[in-house]
Amino acid sequence: MVNNEKIMVCVYYGPNGERLIRRGGELASLLHCPLYVLSVIPLRENELDQDQEQYIAEWKMQCEAIGATFITQSDNQRKASQIIAETAAVHQITQLIIGQTCKTRWQEIRQVHSLMSC
């Protein structure tokens, strides 16, 4: 049986990114499928502050260690949900892992709704 699964983990700055990548890697390993890690950044990569650069460097190393593909996308004034949906379509992603945010429950529901309507 051929496995057509493709997993994409969406990470944003903060301590949860490494944990999400690790869990996505475990799931991809169990399913024997490729793993993509997406970070939507509000600025161009050369305009990031030191903390943001450090997170991205750590995520890239973690992705290399587990054989995942790391992708960064600048938002260019677009909604993160639109960028996630476009990237998922381009790479034919079948499963998304989206981390916990600092947003209220209502904001989270709106973001999921926005993502589902793309």
Lowest mean per-residue pLDDT among 6-15, 74-83, 98-107: 98-107
- Beta bridge partner(s), residue 98: 10
CB 63 within 8 A of CB 21: yes
Length of the chain: 118
Domains located in the chain, CATH noted: 7-110 (3.40.50.620)
Residue 93 DSSP symbol: -
Q: Which two structure tokens, joined as six digits, stand for 58?
A: 């750590």
Q: Token digits for 110?
A: 């709106």
Which residues, in sequence order, are CB contacts of 66 under 8 Å at separation 6+?
Answer: 21, 22, 25, 28, 29, 35
What is d(CA 53, CA 103) in angstroms, rounded to the nearest whole number?
A: 23
What per-residue confidence (pLDDT) applies to 118? 63
The pTM is what?
Answer: 0.81
Q: Is 48 helix (H, G, I), strand (E, B) or coil?
A: coil
Mean pLDDT score of the chain: 86
Predicted confidence at residue 95, as pLDDT, reads 94
* 105 has pLDDT over 70: no
Q: Does residue 101 register a pLDDT over 60?
A: no
pLDDT digits (tens, 9 = 90+) for 35-72: 999 999 887 666 778 888 899 999 999 999 999 999 99
DSSP of 70-90: EEEEE-TT--HHHHHHHHHHH
